[in-house]
Amino acid sequence: MKKKVIYSAVQPTSQLTLGNYLGAVNNWLKFQKEEENDCIFAVADLHSLTIRREAEEVRSSTLSLLAQFLAFGLDEKKNILYVQSHVPAHTQLSWILNCYTYVGEMSRMTQFKDKSAKHADNVNMGLMDYPVLMAADILLYDTDLVPVGIDQVQHLEIARDIAIRFNNIYGDTFKVPEAKLGKAGAKIMSLTDPLSKMSKSDPNPMGRINVLDSEADIVKKFKRAVTDSEAVIAYDPENKPGVSNLLTILAAAEGVTPERAAEECEGLMYGHLKLRVADAVAAMLKPVREEYNRLISDRAYLMQVAKEGAKRAAKRAKKVLRRAQNAVGLLVE
Ligand code: TYM
């Protein structure tokens, strides 16, 4: 039986948020469990250069994210876990794909527009080209499914468009991938502003839970979460975004639907709902934090995992890169 290729990646920043965890990694763990899947997960360090950062911070957060992957329970033997920049095929394919992507379509991307507005003093080419590198990441492994949160769906669409366009010119070269959203948690909102997504770059730290936050911090942040003045627990994202976000988090943490979580919490006061969610999240993250603390001090082991992963990824990526190089007429030895 041919296994399904599952590919996804996360940008390295100091710590993942609960949004990254529930929107993406939690689903990776489900895919890893099923025998029919062949999973590849990357630390997208090249993507993180589109925002100006200290070199030492890029380096340490790359290793930290790899340790977080392992602490979440991703298995380096069963899956391929690697660092994007360790596999040169990503930038090589990315250049080829650039020549089949239009400036107009890149400048219309929502994330490009948002980030250019936020970093108006540094609207660099990388920021605009970011979805093309992401398309290269995905297409290099003949990927079937890409588990991501809602904010990445537009990038997935463009990866599909580029693959289809290329295949139309040169014949079947790339497998056309599909996005895969989780049942719950595909968009976790900020705790202080439930109308915007929980984000690593939110300047207000109270809006986000980091996966390595202490139990006391988790409780403190949930206690201050913005709700509404009705005091009725219901899952209604449009009219009750704050309460619905808490229910979504509870549902994703406990593996039920948000509607079911609402039924279970019916009649609770908001204060009690917040504590219930905080407890569920703290219990879910405690083993992750403990395992992370153990792993992060073992640099040699982490470097070994990265090296092994890159070797396996590079071997597979090379085949697809060759296909694309041949298709466009590069002289391949
Ligand atoms: P990144 O690092 O911003 O986010 C990583 C994953 O977390 C999801 N996510 C969320 N899900 C639910 N609620 C939220 N508030 C939330 N915030 C983030 C994202 O949808 C994503 O799945 N470009 C990508 C990284 C990347 C990639 C790839 C992904 C590079 N190459 C190839 C898939 C395939 C990014 O910046 O994700």
Q: How many domains does the chain have?
A: 2
Query: Does 220 participate in catalysis according to the annotation?
Result: no
Do 172 and 312 fall into the same domain?
yes
| pLDDT > 70 in the chain, percent | 100
Asked if 31 and 146 touch (Cβ cutoff 8 Å), the reply is no
Q: Which helix (H) or strand (E) holds 287?
A: helix 270-295
Largest CA distance in the chain: 70
pLDDT in tens, 89-143: 999 999 999 999 999 999 999 999 999 998 899 999 999 999 999 999 999 999 9
Do 172 and 209 fall into the same domain?
no
How many angstroms separate the alpha carbon of residue 157 from the centre of ligand 1? 14
- pLDDT of residue 202 exceeding 90, the answer is no
Q: CB 133: neighbour CB atoms within 10 A?
A: 21
| 60, HSE (Cβ side, Cα atoms, 13 Å) | 9
DSSP annotation of 121 reads G
Q: How far apart are CA 21 and CA 253, in angstroms?
A: 10
Identify the band that residue 184 occupies on the pLDDT scale cut at 50, 70 and 90.
confident
CATH number for the domain spanning 92: value is 3.40.50.620
Q: Whose CA is nearest to atom 20 of ligand 1?
A: 149
Residue 50 lies in a domain: yes
Q: CB 119: neighbour CB atoms within 10 A?
A: 15
pLDDT given at position 201? 81
Which residues in 281-301 are b (16+ Cβ under 10 Å) and which e? bbebbeebbebbeebbeeeee
How many angstroms separate the alpha carbon of residue 10 from the centre of ligand 1? 5
Of 113, 115, 220, 315, which is the active-site residue?
A: 115
Do 95 and 27 fall into the same domain?
yes
Identify the band that residue 169 occupies on the pLDDT scale cut at 50, 70 and 90.
very high
Query: Does 197 participate in catalysis according to the annotation?
Result: yes
Q: How far apart are CA 58 and CA 132, in angstroms?
A: 21
Least confident of 12-16, 60-64, 182-186, 283-287: 182-186
Q: Whose CA is nearest to atom 25 of ligand 1?
A: 10
Residue 191 lies in a domain: no
- pLDDT of residue 182 exceeding 90, the answer is no
Q: How far is CA 312 from the centre of its chain?
A: 21
Q: Whose CA is nearest to atom 36 of ligand 1?
A: 11
Residue 313 lies in a domain: yes
DSSP annotation of 25 reads I
Q: Whose CA is nearest to atom 37 of ligand 1?
A: 10
pLDDT given at position 333? 78
Structural domain of 227: 205-293
Identify the band that residue 18 occupies on the pLDDT scale cut at 50, 70 and 90.
very high
252 lines ligand 1 (CB under 6 A): no
Do 307 and 285 fall into the same domain?
no
Distances (CA, A) of 227 to 13, 206, 233: 28, 14, 10
Residue 216 lies in a domain: yes
Of 197, 221, 240, 274, which is the active-site residue?
A: 197
| pLDDT > 90 in the chain, percent | 92
Do 30 and 85 fall into the same domain?
yes
pLDDT in tens, 210-262: 999 999 999 999 999 999 999 899 999 999 999 999 999 999 999 899 999 99
Of 4, 175, 200, 318, which is the active-site residue?
A: 200
Do 313 and 227 fall into the same domain?
no
68 lines ligand 1 (CB under 6 A): no
- pLDDT of residue 185 exceeding 80, the answer is no
- pLDDT of residue 13 exceeding 90, the answer is no
Residue 190 lies in a domain: no
Do 99 and 240 fall into the same domain?
no
Residue 48 lies in a domain: yes
Do 30 and 125 fall into the same domain?
yes
Do 311 and 234 fall into the same domain?
no
pLDDT given at position 92? 98
Strands (E), the chain: 4-10, 37-43, 80-83, 145-147, 178-180
84 lines ligand 1 (CB under 6 A): no
How many angstroms separate the alpha carbon of residue 186 from the centre of ligand 1? 10
Do 172 and 49 fall into the same domain?
yes
Residue 108 amino acid letter: R
212 lines ligand 1 (CB under 6 A): no
Do 160 and 227 fall into the same domain?
no
Do 130 and 92 fall into the same domain?
yes
Residue 196 lies in a domain: no
Residue 199 lies in a domain: no
Query: Does 200 participate in catalysis according to the annotation?
Result: yes
CATH number for the domain spanning 232: value is 1.10.240.10
- pLDDT of residue 150 exceeding 90, the answer is yes
65 lines ligand 1 (CB under 6 A): no
pLDDT given at position 61? 96
Task: Tell me if residue 49 falls in helix, strand or coil.
Answer: helix
Asked if 218 and 278 touch (Cβ cutoff 8 Å), the reply is yes
Long-range CB pairs of 66-70, under 8 A, 24+ apart, other chains included: 66/302, 66/305, 66/306, 67/292, 67/295, 67/296, 67/302, 68/15, 68/16, 68/211, 68/212, 68/288, 68/292, 69/25, 69/41, 69/43, 70/291, 70/295, 70/302, 70/305
Asked if 305 and 76 touch (Cβ cutoff 8 Å), the reply is yes
